[in-house]
Structure 1
Amino acid sequence: MPHYRRALTGTTYFFTVVTHRRPILCDDAIRAALRHAIERVRIRFPFTTDAMVLMPDHLHCIWTLPDDDTNFSIRWTQIKHHVSYSCGHLYPMTLSKSRQERGAAPIWQRRFWEHQIRNEVDMERHVDYIHFNPVKHGLAKHASEWPFSTFGRFVRTGIYPADWGGNPACDGMEFE
C-alpha cells in the first residue's frame, strides 16, 4: 500500500455521486461542464480535490474543505445544477411527476453518498478504491489505462508505481 506523504487538514470527505440511470459522465460535454462547474464553485466555496475518478454512470472523489467548513452539500448542489443547466438539453428525459415536483434534474440522482475520512489509513484505502474502480468494473485492465482519473497525478508524484492497479500485487485487494 502506498504512503501518501500528506497530512489531513481541514475536513476531508469521500463522495459517490450517481447519474440518473445514464452512462454519460465520460462524454466530452459532461466532462467539460463538470470541470467548469468545479472551477466556478471552487472560487466561491474553496475545496481541494485530492483524488477523483469518472465512471460512465457515477463518480468517486475525495475533497478537503477549509478548516471549520463542512458544507459540502452547497458545493454539490451548485456543481450538479451547473452541469444540468449546461448539458440538460443534450440528454433529454421525461421525469416522473414526483421528480418534477422536487425539482430534480434529468442528469443526476438527487442525493449522494459521503464518508468523512478519519485518518491516513482511511485516506489510503479510499484513494486506492477510487483509482482501482475502473479495473473493478472491467473498464480497464490496469488503473493507468483509464483516462478519467487522477491516477496519473499520483504516478507523477511518486505515490503509485505506473503499473499499480492491474499488476499481480493488486490481485485480491479488499476495499470497503
Structure 2
Amino acid sequence: MHRSDLLRKGRVSLINRFYSITLVAHKREDKFISLDINRLITKEMKNIEDQKAAKTIAFVIMPNHVHWLIQLGNEKSLSDVIKSFKGRCSKTIRDRLGVQKLWQRNYYDHMIRNEDDLLNNARYIIANPLRAKIVDKVALYPYWDCIYIK
C-alpha cells in the first residue's frame, strides 16, 4: 500500500459540505508558475462551479501545489469532483502546452467542521504565498481568490 493510499482512509463525502483540498504537482515540481497553466487551472475550477458540482470559496495556486476550498454540490462525490478536475486540467494542459504529468496520484482533504474552521481555512489558503515568502503582501500574488475578499 502506498503511503498516499492512507489519505483515502476515513474519507467522507457529504453533499453541500465544505472541504479544504490540497492537490500536489507531479514529483512536487514547480509546474504552476506559468500564467498559461494557471489560467487553465482556474478555468477548470470555474467549469466545476458552472456544472454545480462544487462552489469555490477560496483557492491559491502555489508553484508546486494547489489549495482549494470548496462547497460540494449535491450530485457528485468529492472524489468524483477531484477526479474530473484533475483529469480535465491534465488533458487540457497536455494538449495545449505539452505537459505530460501534471498531478501526483492522490490528494489531501479536510472536511470543514464549522464556520470558524471555514474562515480559518480560507485565511490559511490565501496567506500561503506569504508563509512561503514568495511575496510580502497577498495582493502582490496573482494566483488566488476568495469570496470573502472583494
Show the counterpart of 1:17: 23
- Identical columns (%): 24
Q: Which has the larger radius of gyration?
A: 1
Q: Which residue of 2 aligns with 1:128?
A: 123
Name stretches of at least 5 consecutive residues in structure 1 with no aligned partner.
1-8, 94-105, 157-176
Residue 21 of structure 2 contacts residue 109 of structure 2 at CA under 8 Å; is this kept in 1?
Answer: yes
Residue 42 of structure 2: aligned partner? 35
Alignment of 1:1-176 (within 5 A): 10-20=16-26, 21-66=28-73, 71-88=77-94, 90-92=97-99, 106-150=101-145, 154-156=148-150
TM-score (norm 1): 0.67
Please report the TM-score for the alignment, with normalisation by the length of structure 2. 0.78
Give 1:30's aligned amino acid.
I
The letter for the 2-side match of 1:14 is S
Report the 3-state secondary structure (helix = DSSP H, G, I; strand = E; otherwise coil) of the residue aligned with 1:150.
strand
Distance in 1, Cα, partners of 2:99 & 2:60? 25
Distance, in Å, in 2 between the alignment partners of 1:113 and 1:16 is 5
Instruction: Please identify which structure carries the higher strand content.
Output: 2
Structure 2 vs 1, CA of residues 131 and 41 (structure 1 numbering), >3 Å: closer, same or farther?
closer
Q: CA RMSD in A?
A: 2.2
Shift of 1:109: 0.3
Unaligned runs of 5+ in 2: 1-14
1:69 positional shift? 5.4
**Number of aligned positions between the proteins:** 134
Q: CA deviation at 1:130?
A: 0.5
